[in-house]
Amino acid sequence: MTPLELDLGLSTKGGATEDVYDVVIIGGGPAGTSAAIYTTRADLKTVILDKGLTSGAMGTATRIANYPGVPGPVRGADLLQHMHDQGESLGVEYVREKALSATLDGEIKQVRTTQGTYRGRAVIIATGSMGHSRGIAGEERLLGRGVSYCATCDGAFFRDREVAVAGSNEEALEEALLLARFASRVHVLSPTPELKATRDLIQEVNEHPRIELYPSARLREIVGQEQVQAVRFSGAEGEQTLSVDGVFVYLRGRAPITDFLGGQLPTDESGCLLVDAEMQTSIPGVFAVGDVLCQHVKQAVISAAEGAIAGVAVRRYLSGREKLRPDWS
């Protein structure tokens, strides 16, 4: 166990490393949840690694009025919660964790998260396309020198220092609360006027004595030579500069979220994963569904349909009755 794990009360030992799931699904949106419903009904032990209801495109939608079987407009987060409730009622295991890396070759695949390692005979990637593309001035140059995307990984390095968190979703706020255990001050730069999270989480952030919130704050530049020294942002009071030692970025964008894969799977020129008609990638037993494919109209019902296709394909792959081979070329 590392010093950071001891400090956070975490361990990579336990259920996450001892259990071997039939299916590990990364992403709990309509694609991932639909796949899980199909795999669980086929008696396949399934776990979904999900960052939270509002971490994906559907969870942030204010009105959905065209999902079959759901009359009238409904909040995306509410519809997604119904999907999660259905999955849990069937035995789907949901875990609030973020995938950091993966090893996909071999019979047993491994997905490492902030709190452990999940092993599975098959993996379904459903991480969507709201990834941040490192477009902030100074961000890429100072990555690893004060710029981070994981408070659980790096928070302890900023004990008694001031840090900034850029983002307004559940992941950003939970990371801000974690950082507040170490940092002397956490400045939350929310790009939106209102935070996109549950009421309880928003209230906890607003009431925390070490957290200061900046609504409608657009991060413009991360300042520093060898290390992060400050952030420059524009907000309601004009352009401001804050002296900080670390910046944790949780901004949404339009890039497929595949960084945790480490280049193990081929993509097209836009960074989208490639799959065959069964939603299988170039590695047997590894499937991808939803907006991470970037090959369709971005609608929840289409992502859910792809999840269903993958769920059936995983059952066939694991049963051995029909060995699926990649055919995406």
How far apart CA 4 and CA 241 sit, in angstroms, is: 30
Question: Mean pLDDT across the stretch 204-217?
Answer: 97
Q: Are 165 and 250 in contact (CB under 8 A)?
A: yes
**Cα separation, 59 vs 23, whole angstroms:** 23
* Residue 294 designated active-site: no
Asked if residue 89 has pLDDT above 60, the reply is yes
Q: How deeply is 103 buried, as exposed, middle or buried, from its count of CB atoms within 10 A (0-12, 13-18, 19+)?
A: middle
Which one is catalytic: 43, 85, 105, 154? 154
Kind of pairing between the strands at 162-166 and 246-249? parallel
Task: Please check whether residue 179 is in contact with residue 165, taking contact to mean a CB–CB distance below 8 angstroms.
Answer: yes
Residue 7 banded pLDDT, cuts 50, 70, 90 = very low
Predicted confidence (pLDDT) at residue 263 exceeds the cutoff of 60 = yes
Choose, from 19, 150, 276, 294, the residue flagged as catalytic. Answer: 150
Tell me whether residue 154 is one of the annotated catalytic residues. Answer: yes
CA distance readout (Å), 86 to 77, 94, 193, 197:
14, 12, 33, 21
Average pLDDT along the chain: 87
Provide the 3-class DSSP secondary structure of residue 165.
strand
Q: Which residue has the tokens 């706020």?
A: 173
Task: Give mean pLDDT, residues 255-278.
Answer: 90
How many whole angstroms separate alpha carbon 32 and alpha carbon 49? 9
* Rounded CA separation 53/60 (Å): 8
CA R_g for the chain = 20
pLDDT for the residue 254: 66
Q: What domains are defined for the chain?
A: 3-131+254-319 (3.50.50.60), 147-249 (3.50.50.60)
- Cα 178 from Cα 18, distance rounded (Å): 26
Mean pLDDT of 265-290: 93
pLDDT (average), residues 293-300:
75
Q: What is the pLDDT of residue 185?
A: 98
Percentage, residues of the chain above pLDDT 70: 89
Q: Are strands 228-235 and 238-243 parallel, antiparallel or unpaired?
A: antiparallel
Check whether 114 has a pLDDT greater than 70.
Answer: yes
Distance, in Å, from the CA atom of 244 to the CA atom of 224, rounded to the nearest integer, reads 10
CB 23 within 8 A of CB 175: no
**Mean pLDDT value of segment 257-285:** 92
Active-site residue, selected from the candidate residues 153, 259, 276, 294: 153
Catalytic: 153?
yes
